[in-house]
Copies of this chain bind each other. A is one copy, B any other.
Amino acid sequence: MHYGNGMITRCRDVLESEFQYCSDLNTTRFLKRMLEVEKPDFIAFTGDNIFGPSTTDAAESLFEAFGPAMESGLPWAAILGNHDQESTMNREELMSFISLMDYSVSQVNPSAEDLSSPVKGGMVTNIDGFGNYNLRVYGAPGSHLANSSILDLFFLDSGDREVIQGVRTYGWIKESQLSWLRSIYHESQVQKQNSDQSADTFPTATSPALAFFHIPIPEIRHLYHNKIVGEFQEAVACSSVNSGVLQTFVSIGDVQAVFMGHDHKNDFCGNLDGIWFCYGGGFGYHGYGKAGWPRRARVIIAELGKGDKSWMGVKRIKTWKRLDDEKLSKIDEQVLWVHQPS
Query: Footprint of B on A, CB under 8 Å?
Result: 4-5, 7-10, 12, 16, 19-20, 23, 53-56, 286, 288
Is the beta-carbon distance between A23 and B53 smaller than 8 angstroms? yes
Whether B8 lies near A10 (C-beta < 8 A) is no
Instruction: Establish whether residues A56 and B8, one from each chain, have CB atoms under 8 Å apart when the complex forms.
Output: yes
Q: Which residues of B contact A23 (CB under 8 A)?
A: 53
Q: Which residues of B contact A4 (CB under 8 A)?
A: 8, 10
With A and B bound together, what is the CA distance between A10 and B52 in angstroms?
Answer: 11
A53: chain B residues within 8 A (beta carbon)? 7-8, 10, 20, 23
Report yes or no: A54 in contact with B288, Cβ–Cβ below 8 A. no
How far apart are the CA atoms of A115 and B286 in the complex, in Å?
49
Who on chain B is nearest to A23 by CB?
B53
Residue of B at shortest CB range from A286? B10
Within 8 Å by CB of A8, from B7, B9, B16, B19, lies: B9
B contact residues around A55 at 8 Å (CB):
8
Q: Which residues of B sit under 8 angstroms from A20, Cβ to Cβ?
A: 53
Interface centre among A8, A9, A12, A288 (most CB of B within 10 A): A8
With A8-B4, A8-B5, A9-B8 known as contacts, the answer to whether A19 contacts B288 (CB < 8 A) is: yes
Q: Shortest Cβ distance from A230 into chain B, in angstroms?
A: 22
In the complex, chain B residues whose CB is within 8 Å of the CB of A56: 5, 8
Question: Distance (Å) between the CB of A284 and the closest chain B CB?
Answer: 13
- Cβ contacts under 8 Å, A9 to chain B: 8, 10, 54
Distance from A3 Cβ to chain B, minimum over Cβ atoms (Å): 12
6 interchain residue pairs of minimum CB distance:
A8-B54, A8-B56, A10-B54, A5-B8, A8-B55, A4-B8
When C-beta atoms are compared, the residue in chain B nearest to A52 turns out to be B8
Q: Which residues of B contact A19 (CB under 8 A)?
A: 288
CA distance A24 to B53 in the complex (A): 12
CB distance from A53 to the nearest CB of B (A): 7
